[in-house]
Amino acid sequence: MIANVLTIAGSDPSGGAGIQADLKTFSALGTYGTSVITALTAQNTCGVAGVHGVPVAAIRQQLEHLLADVHIDAVKIGMVASRDVAQTIADVLQQRRPRWIVLDPVMVAKSGDVLVDDAGIRAVRDILVPLADVITPNLPEAAVLLDRSRPASLEDMEALLPALVALGVPYVVLKGGHLRGETCPDLLASPQGQRWLAAERIATDNLHGTGCALSSAITACLARLPAQASSEAPIEAITTAKQWLHEALAASERLNVGQGRGPVHHFHAWW
């Protein structure tokens, strides 16, 4: 059967990030996507003009009503704007826990706009990270989660990784895209140890929603794993998701969306 996956995230009117990007990614990777909206953003490819949180009661109602009916194999959690929202998500998912929970700690947009307040940051770290099976922070987000300076080298990333694992999550994908250089290395921690996931850097400004796309791709790939998968299977799923994003970035020049940072081409394999 086709796996059902859920995104709990904010809405992006431009379609390149958030709920819209997640649903495109789920579909592109052969899963059935469902969604619960946590925030409405006013944004385009040039930046974020405003963030408007959905009432906590409405988020709970969306989640409970969906999960009472649809079996969800994997969930991706994106933008969480407050502690109350984080606690609500955790409460409901603990009652009806999917097999996989992927957390993308969305805190800062590619434009540099801060999307979450201090209380929201603490809630992500204290409530949602221990609930997750996989987290996918970029370097600024990892620094915020740990209240440390931003890693500036591969060695800094390796030094930071154990502290992220110590937050209580089995798999950490520490994304190195903010480093300079010809490669775009991510550092993966798993129960089997740590390894580098290397890829060539693609010369493009179409970076809007890349974090959303990677985390939702990981969610879809994990959801498709058989129940009795090998211990290496989650690592292979994460690797497959990274390769899919690499190809989506390479094909992004086929799109003409906005005047700022355009989106990746989620359906590059199809059209």
Confidence at residue 247, expressed as pLDDT on a 0 to 100 scale: 96
Using alpha carbons, list the distances in angstroms from residue 237 to 21, 91, 244: 19, 27, 11
- Residue 199 confidence (pLDDT): 83
> What pLDDT score does 81 carry?
79
Question: Which pLDDT value is given to residue 119?
Answer: 81
| Nearest of 22, 23, 52 to residue 38 by alpha carbon | 52
Instruction: Using a cut of 0.85, tell me whether the model's pTM lies above it.
Output: yes
Q: Please tell me the predicted confidence (pLDDT) of residue 174.
A: 95
pLDDT at 23: 98
Q: In what order do the strands lie in the sheet with 32-44?
A: 47-53, 32-44, 4-11, 74-77, 100-103, 134-135, 171-175, 186-190, 193-197
How far from the centroid of its chain's Cα atoms is residue 171's Cα? 13
pLDDT averaged over 10-residue windows placed end to end, the chain, 271 residues: 97 96 98 96 91 95 98 95 92 96 80 66 91 95 88 91 94 89 88 91 90 97 92 95 96 95 96 95
Euclidean distance between CA atoms 191 and 48, whole angstroms: 37
pLDDT given for residue 248 in this prediction: 97
